[in-house]
Structure 1
Amino acid sequence: MPNTKPANSSNGGHIRALVSVHDVMPETLPQVDRILSVLNEEGIAPVTLLVVPGAGWSSEGIERLDRFRARGCELAGHGWLHRVERITGLAHRMHSRLISRNVAEHLALDRVGIHRLIARCHAWFVDQGLGAPALYCPPAWAMGPIPRSTLATLPFTRYELFSGVLSAQTGRMHPVPLTGYEADTGVRTVAIRAWNRLNRRRAAQRGWIRIGIHPHDLDLRLAEDLRRDLRRFRCHAGYSEIGAA
């Protein structure tokens, strides 16, 4: 159920927020638990967890994911390894330096490789008894050179991209402003803070915003910005509600 706690429009109460936690892997579970505790204290639900299937999950880790799901979290696919062994081409190199570093694994693959990765990701959840996820978000929101028509042939029904949420079956893109907080350098802090400021203004026009949280964000330079945004946007929704109205 979305959180529809009343709030006035001056603090974002009329804007519906999609809250997600990225890079859910065995080694980030302590940070994910801490983030979920903060979100629970703030009364934020639902929450979408972006899970990296190929990160070496044990049976205990799978059980923890299942407990997250039982608590109302939506599990979503997030690549396979969440890293690349090599940077391919100028575009990938620029993306790596400016945004993704070494995590945008789609950019190191051709369309066939991307198709196989996405299909493998979806199958992993089903094989582990975690249900069939509806949402897929490529690492760093970088989908790579795969046609949207091809995405419709894969089992995911929605894809989160940098610009918004794509409905696979209709091919319709729903633009949703995005805020992030993964600022571990001074340059990134300035750039991301300016980006977030712009997207808060865009959210006032769109009526939607995405709040993307990475595992270490509570300890990085924009931690207080994140906490303020969690308190600013008090009406929460799930990704399935995009385009439903």
Structure 2
Amino acid sequence: MKPIEQLSLATEATLPKALISVHDLMPETMPAVHQTLKQLEQHRLTPVTLLVVPGRNWSRSGIETLRSLERDGYRLAGHGWHHQAERIGGLYHRLHSLFLSRRVAEHLALDEAGIIALINRCHAWFSEQGLTPPTLYVPPAWAMGSISIPRLREACPFSLYERFDAVIDCAAERTHPLPLTGYEADSALRVPVLRLWNRWNWHNAQRQGLPIRIGIHPRDLELGLADALKRDLSRSIRPVDYDSLLGATG
């Protein structure tokens, strides 16, 4: 290896780590998702995890698109089933829906048995479609609902679960609290709130030397924080795969 190549690799290894995910892959969001992926490709940001919603109206061509994305090196993850709560389940869910999740936090309308059934159905769908069974599961709106880590480990097949506050390594029964940024500023009020939230989380990641989670939704490049998202993607960061957290002790 040439000295300049060694220097480049050494420099890259010192860059802050980032876990980059694109949410809400559904047949109806694929055009916007492709635009987001183009933006990520421009910044040479890989690996990237794509959160797939299985319970939508996937066609054969849509499944082939997911297979193509896998072949191109993207990681697929489970992301709920319908990405839509059939009902609002109590006061907490009502407040969560009003201020954070709209009606997408489908776990919050379910009891433990319902959550387990949904997660298992999600995992099985990937193999049924000829896709690689994912390691990671992310509930819609990062809202896991009423289920404990031991029950996830006993009854559900994924190795990693991502909540709003952390990523859970079930095998090691370890929780990794990691800063999270979001850009889904679909109302005027969300713009300043998310801008402040993201600034705080970038600061925490740098201060504590932690990987930062960058959560991108399909329409973020059209919304009020599009410039902030583009700026954050242009930062000097080193994307890593979620699987790097498996068995991690630091």
Same fold (TM over 0.5): yes
For 1:11-57, what per-residue CA distance to the aligned partner results, in whole angstroms no more than 9, with x for missing partners?
xx631001100000000000111111111111000000000000111
Q: Which residue of 2 aligns with 1:244?
A: 248
Shift of 1:207: 2.5
Structure with bigger gyration radius:
2
For residues 144 and 102 of structure 1, the distance between their equivalents in structure 2, rounded to whole angstroms, comes to 14
For residues 108 and 4 of structure 1, the distance between their equivalents in structure 2, rounded to whole angstroms, comes to 47
Q: How many percent identity over aligned positions?
A: 53
Q: Which residue of 1 aligns with 2:65?
A: 64
| Matched pairs, number | 239
Are 1:140 and 2:141 matched, yes or no? Answer: yes
Shift of 1:147: 1.4
Q: Which residue of 2 aligns with 1:230?
A: 233
RMSD: 1.7
| Higher RCO (CA < 8 A, seq sep 6+) | 1
Which AA in structure 2 matches 1:177?
P
Where in structure 1 do 4 or more consecutive aligned residues deviate above 2 Å?
Answer: 3-8
Q: SS at the partner of 1:186? A: coil
In the alignment, structure 2 segments of 5+ residues that lack a partner are 1-7
Q: Which residue of 2 aligns with 1:36?
A: 37
Q: SS at the partner of 1:152? A: helix
For residues 190 and 93 of structure 1, the distance between their equivalents in structure 2, rounded to whole angstroms, comes to 23
Shift of 1:84: 1.2
Contact 1:5 1:235 (C-alpha < 8 Å) held by counterparts: no
In the alignment, structure 1 segments of 5+ residues that lack a partner are none
Tell me whether 70-79 or 202-211 shows the greater mean CA deviation.
202-211
With normalisation by structure 1, the TM-score equals 0.94
For 1:46-95, what per-residue CA distance to the aligned partner results, in whole angstroms no more than 9, with x for missing partners?
00000000011111100000000000000000000000122110000111
Question: What is the aligned counterpart of 1:170 among 169, 172, 175?
Answer: 172
With normalisation by structure 2, the TM-score equals 0.92
Q: Which residue of 2 aligns with 1:202?
A: 204
Q: Which residue of 1 aligns with 2:105?
A: 104
For 1:118-156, what per-residue CA distance to the aligned partner results, in whole angstroms no more than 9, with x for missing partners?
000000001111011100000000000011111112110
Contact 1:4 1:234 (C-alpha < 8 Å) held by counterparts: no
Shift of 1:4: 6.5
Which AA in structure 1 matches 2:220?
D
Q: SS at the partner of 2:77? A: strand
Are 1:193 and 2:195 matched, yes or no? Answer: yes
For 1:170-205, what per-residue CA distance to the aligned partner results, in whole angstroms no more than 9, with x for missing partners?
221001100000001111111111110110011111
Are 1:76 and 2:77 matched, yes or no? Answer: yes
